[in-house]
């Protein structure tokens, strides 16, 4: 078994997330939450049939055909993210449970977008113009802190480490979980008699025990700190036919950076083996990726008041590089042991799903605009691949992970609604969006956004701001679900976006 295959197999078994690490990767980099400009953000992202905003180049590029002037736009944003974890604690005196919650905040400044639209009017009476756009849109923000503090008398992370090591001789233990756990003395051979003359264990037969009693009372503190985001560099072109039909296309080049640090500590509060007082496990993951996709779209003006829009996004093909490392430390009454794994580098490819968007908007009395987007994305169409590694039998190394994607994900239907009221030069806006759960058997894990904003438009320049409240439920797995139940999480995010634009 080659090294990469062994690592991936272990990651599948030993997971701090709801599912294996690679399925979570596939979902993370396939999901997007449009940030972009303040106008689009304040209207819930429902801009598929409106056009005339740079953020739309990553949504429905046909909107670029509506520009009649060259434009420069810039949108800084500020985000405050709150994560609340709900933990069940067990009272040792009567085994009763009660729920306790912990909140973790993180704030971050970001770039929503920066873009340039070059409008080129034509003398042709039918094809009015050919416009070009270039710039950057923010597609995702991965910043998140999670903190869990609980009393557990039914399992330990050591149980998970033991299950990974069981059945393997010492020299065959993996370098990231089993081996560090053994050499830091969190787990041990069932019979650890040593032949001092040969300097080796006499009973190295793959039978291990844990130094932590599963049913013993222990305080578990678990912290995850994640940082990163995804931006898309866009190159767009669009045109207008008789100002009724608008067509456009975008070549998108998304890039992302993601880092994740996990720290898990257990303080033993009852009897243990060999006077082990506490132990810690740390995991570092760092990922970067570059991809490419194509978006095509169209807008049709039925009359002066109603427009229809449609867009199709090709899969994004990402090339992803990951670095991974683990550290374990055990603290006994008279000594401590600390073991670090090597740093593993692994490269693979991810293909995200197709996406389809249908849109409609209505203009009432030239001062009220309603808009609606309906979006479909089937997460079972995500797939992982590696050109550099194959299984020993020649099959795809990610076959198990891709089967899991098919089994746990499904088609997601998302809806976005927006309204804008005009009283020149002022604008008032509000929006709502709902992103349904990608999980087949857990429809409750959806996300909702509530937004409002305002702006001033003087023709040659404009200024907008938006506030977006995002709420979602999630579940987090400290370690394998065979040993511990997931922790319920509630996300409450606040996002402020400011846009400044100039036309000439």
Is 424 domain-assigned?
yes
* Residue scoring higher pLDDT (11 or 187): 187
Residue 57 resides in a domain: yes
| pLDDT tens-digit map of 294-350 | 999 999 999 989 999 999 999 999 999 999 999 999 999 889 999 999 999 989 999
The predicted-structure confidence for 362-409, as pLDDT tens digits, reads as follows 999 889 999 999 999 999 999 998 877 666 666 678 888 889 899 999
Q: Could you give the number of structural domains in the chain?
A: 1
Domain that holds residue 50: 3-379+391-503
- Judged against a pLDDT cut of 90, whether residue 468 lies above it is answered with yes
Which one, of 98, 94, 328, 92, lies nearest residue 215 by Cα?
A: 92
Q: Is 142 within a domain? A: yes
**What's residue 190's pLDDT?**
87
How many other C-beta atoms are found inside a 10 Å radius of the C-beta of residue 425? Answer: 12
Q: How far apart are CA 189 and CA 208, in angstroms?
A: 4
In a domain, 384, yes or no: no
Residue 26 within any structural domain of the chain: yes
Beta-carbon contacts of 478 under 8 Å, excluding residues fewer than 6 positions away, are 16, 148, 157, 220, 222, 264, 484, 487
Q: Give, in order, the Cα–Cα distances in Å from 240 to each of 1, 127, 131, 300.
A: 58, 6, 9, 10
192 pLDDT band, cuts 50/70/90, is confident
Long-range own/partner contacts, residues 7-11 (CB < 8 A, 24 or more apart): 7/174, 7/176, 7/324, 7/344, 7/346, 8/397, 8/398, 8/401, 10/164, 10/174, 10/176, 10/177
pLDDT at 16: 39
Burial class (CB in 10 A: 0-12, 13-18, 19+), 358: middle
pLDDT at residue number 275? 81
Q: Please check whether residue 146 lies inside any domain of the structure.
A: yes
Cis-peptide, bond into residue 397, ω within 30° of zero:
no
Q: What's the pLDDT score for residue 137?
A: 93
User: What proportion of the chain, given as a percentage, has pLDDT over 90?
Assistant: 63
- Residue 385 included in any domain: no
Average pLDDT value over all residues in the chain: 87
Please give the sequence-ordered ranges of beta strands (E in DSSP) within 242-316, or none if there are none. 245-268, 276-301, 306-313
Q: What is the pLDDT of residues 248-297, one digit of tens each?
A: 999 999 999 999 999 999 998 776 667 889 999 999 999 999 999 999 99
pTM (two decimals): 0.85
Whether residue 386 lies inside any domain: the answer is: no
CATH number of the domain enclosing 436: 2.40.160.60
Residue 283 φ then ψ, to 5°: -135, 130
Q: What is the dihedral of CA 16, 22, 28, 29, to 10 degrees?
A: 150
């Amino acid at each position: 078994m080659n090294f990469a295959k062994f690592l991936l197999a272990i990651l599948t078994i030993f997971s701090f997330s709801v599912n294996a690490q690679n399925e979570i990767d596939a979902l993370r980099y396939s999901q997007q939450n449009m940030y972009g400009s303040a106008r689009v953000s304040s209207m819930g992202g429902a801009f598929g049939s409106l056009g005339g905003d740079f953020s739309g180049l990553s949504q429905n590029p046909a909107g670029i055909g509506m520009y009649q002037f060259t434009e420069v736009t810039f949108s800084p944003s500020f985000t405050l993210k709150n994560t609340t974890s709900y933990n069940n604690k067990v009272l040792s005196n009567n085994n009763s449970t009660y729920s306790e919650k912990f909140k973790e905040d993180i704030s971050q400044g970001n770039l929503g977008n920066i873009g340039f639209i070059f409008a080129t009017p034509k003398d042709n009476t039918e094809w009015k113009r050919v416009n070009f756009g270039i710039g950057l849109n923010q597609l995702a923000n991965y910043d998140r802190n999670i903190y869990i503090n609980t009393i557990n008398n039914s399992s330990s992370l050591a149980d998970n480490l033991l299950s990974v090591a069981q059945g393997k001789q010492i020299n065959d233990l993996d370098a990231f979980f089993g081996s560090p756990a053994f050499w830091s003395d969190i787990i041990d051979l069932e019979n650890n008699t040593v032949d001092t003359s040969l300097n080796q264990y006499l009973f190295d037969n793959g039978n291990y025990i844990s130094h932590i009693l599963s049913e013993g009372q222990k305080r578990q503190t678990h912290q995850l700190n994640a940082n990163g985001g995804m931006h898309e560099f866009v190159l767009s072109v669009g045109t207008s036919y008789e100002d009724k039909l608008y067509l456009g296309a975008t070549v998108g080049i998304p890039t992302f950076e993601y880092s994740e640090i996990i720290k898990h500590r257990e303080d033993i509060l009852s009897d243990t083996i060999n006077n082990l007082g506490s132990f810690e496990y740390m995991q570092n993951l760092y990922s970067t990726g570059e991809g490419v996709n194509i978006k095509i779209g169209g807008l049709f003006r039925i009359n002066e008041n109603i427009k229809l829009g449609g867009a199709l996004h090709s899969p994004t093909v990402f090339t992803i590089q990951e670095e991974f490392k683990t550290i374990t430390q055990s603290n006994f009454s008279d000594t401590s042991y600390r073991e670090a794994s090597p740093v593993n580098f692994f490269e693979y490819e991810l293909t995200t799903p197709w996406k389809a968007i249908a849109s409609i908007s209505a203009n009432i009395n030239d001062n009220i605009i309603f808009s609606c987007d309906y979006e479909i994305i089937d997460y079972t169409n995500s797939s992982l691949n590696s050109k550099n590694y194959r299984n020993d039998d020649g099959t795809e190394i990610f076959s198990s992970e891709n089967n899991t994607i098919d089994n746990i994900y499904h088609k997601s239907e998302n809806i976005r609604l927006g309204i804008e009221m005009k009283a020149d030069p002022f604008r008032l806006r509000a929006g709502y969006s709902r992103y349904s759960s990608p999980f087949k058997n857990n429809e409750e894990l959806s996300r909702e956004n509530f937004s409002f904003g305002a702006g001033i438009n003087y023709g040659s320049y404009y200024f907008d701001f938006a506030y977006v409240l995002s709420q979602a439920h999630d579940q987090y797995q400290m370690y394998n679900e065979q040993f511990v139940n997931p922790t319920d999480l509630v996300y409450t995010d606040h996002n402020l976006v400011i846009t400044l634009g100039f036309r000439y």
